[in-house]
Amino acid sequence: MANNNQPIQNTIDQGRASHAYTCVYNFVQTHSNKDTHSEYKSYSKKLPMMIKNSGLGAAMAFTLSKSKEHHKAVLDDIISWLCQSMITKDFFINLKKLSDKYDQADFVKKIINFNSNEYRVITNEVIAYMTWHRRFTEGLITK
């Protein structure tokens, strides 16, 4: 539980860290193939630079177009975080759910239709989240 004296930014960052840890840990536990672990780790490291170079919409569309498990898993991790984050969940309130996961295509469609201010907020949040995600893939996935 957050301390009332603690700045809100710390609690948001702690939420990012906690969520990213849980996602990476669950991926490692549910996938026994070490090559899949390595690909997940590699993609987690590459994605923030893809976002900075091409934009969030293009990076998410690229990820959606890939059929490999590690691409889908990283995208699910991002969507899951954005749908529960106190900063971004209101942007995704009507996002369709497919069983226990959010519809990735619906998510990408929403991303590319945001106005520039919303797009910037979401982009910054994804990059901040992926910083934690990358750290935990480096720590939990060894060669």
- Assess contact for 22 and 118: CB atoms under 8 A: no
CB atoms < 10 A from the CB of 6, how many?
A: 10
> What's phi and psi for 19, nearest 5 deg?
-65, -45
pLDDT at 8 exceeding the cut of 80:
no
pTM for this entry:
0.90
DSSP calls for 50-86: HHHHH-HHHHHHHHHH--SHHHHHHHHHHHHHHHH-T
CB atoms < 10 A from the CB of 47, how many?
A: 23
Q: What mean pLDDT do residues 126-130 have?
A: 98
Domain boundary assignment for the chain: 8-140
CB atoms < 10 A from the CB of 108, how many?
A: 21
**Whole-number pLDDT of residue 10:** 74
Mention the CATH class of domain 8-140: mainly alpha
Distance linking the first and last C-alpha atoms of the chain: 35
pLDDT at 140 exceeding the cut of 50:
yes
Residue 1 — pLDDT band, cuts 50, 70, 90? Answer: very low
User: Considering the chain, what percentage of its residues have pLDDT values greater than 70?
Assistant: 93
Q: Fill in the amino acid letter for 8.
A: I
Residue 101 — pLDDT band, cuts 50, 70, 90? Answer: confident
